[in-house]
Structure 1
Amino acid sequence: MGTNNIDYPSSNAQTRTVSQRFIHPSYDNGLNFAAALLKLSTPFTITNYVRTACVPNAQMDFAVGKTCTAAGWGSRNEYDPYVNPILYEVNVDITSRSTCDLIYDGIVTDNMVCAGGVGGEGICHGDSPLVTKVDSKWYVVGIPLASYGCAREGYPAIYQYAPVLYDWIEPIFRGEDPPLPPTPAPPVSTAVKEHGPD
């Protein structure tokens, strides 16, 4: 954190190790609730180069047409499998969920939000969450899930909608861990009794 070049980090860069990972308990191995939280060994120090974005509560809604910013070290095009060492950002507008659902043949749910698909600008493999500014505060709008190619005209990217994650994240603000996925039940072993001749 705190640098715009991962090959040559500046003196403002900070690194931390992850002590625990929390996967959303409703994650279905597909696109629904595809979100995870990383608990750090020690917190980052807030500076002019390392800042935070707020978690929107469940009542917040980001309207169609709202301009958001996506940033990251993602690929510069869909045919490039490598991350880019330079941090880039792009502004994209939220698009209609119903229109996005039509484009993607019915996979977009109310737990998702779509943005981009205009002007050949958008996210690609490895890019970071979508954020926007509301009343001088930055909020996370969504977490990248999927898109057809990268920044293709007419194909907005699909994001996990951040407000629906609030109830899961909220325990952190009380110093507690978020709920974990339920532990799968152990397989049931059925003993087969051998029968001799009658």
Structure 2
Amino acid sequence: MLTLHDHPRSGNCYKVRLFLSLIGKDYQRSFVDVLARKNQTKEFERISAFQQVPALTDGDISIWDSHAILLHLAHKYAPEWLAPMPHLGAMYAWISVSTNEIANSLQPLRLTYVVNSAEAAHHLGVNEALLDVPGMERRTERVLRRMDKRLAENGWLAGTDTPTVADIACYGYTALAEEAAIDILAYPAIAAWRKRIQQLPGYVPPGLPVATATQTN
């Protein structure tokens, strides 16, 4: 049985919950209360090297980082979600966009809206006085404009006929854009792409329990 170490408000955890549902894999959820610092233990460090969620236990293997987990799951259980050549490079490039551009723009911007400034600063590893919300807003607009241009030209980010891991990687926080006060209708190609993902068999929305999962504390 797979075990997902999870927090329901995390966009990175949501990516993994969504992908597990899309590929029909049963798993159990272990809630990690990151706001209460329950992730900052030696026990959890043995599962997740940087004490971050999500982390996945698959038998004797522990994988941390949402993108590493998505790729592990795809390679082991759902290879149809991996882009074929010549689209493989584009798939990895857009996973990198999620890891870098989105993680440094939309992801922290949304955090400033869903928790207080002190908590946001703690999770971002900066002094509260150094929170640069206008900078996050500018970077968010830039990455969403680039994504919108790509999706206006391609149905899926890797340029494939069907979705890949890259789409799920970038969808996690894009699905939560409204929580960062973003009007997604200003990005019509992204809005249409989000609807395509929402229509996939097995789709689950963010923040809700998954019927196939067993939650543990």
Shared fold, TM over 0.5? no
Structure with greater proportional helix content: 2
Which is bigger in relative contact order (C-alpha 8 A, separation at least 6)? 2
Question: TM bucket by the smaller chain?
Answer: under 0.3
Q: TM-score by structure 1 length?
A: 0.24
Q: TM-score by structure 2 length?
A: 0.22
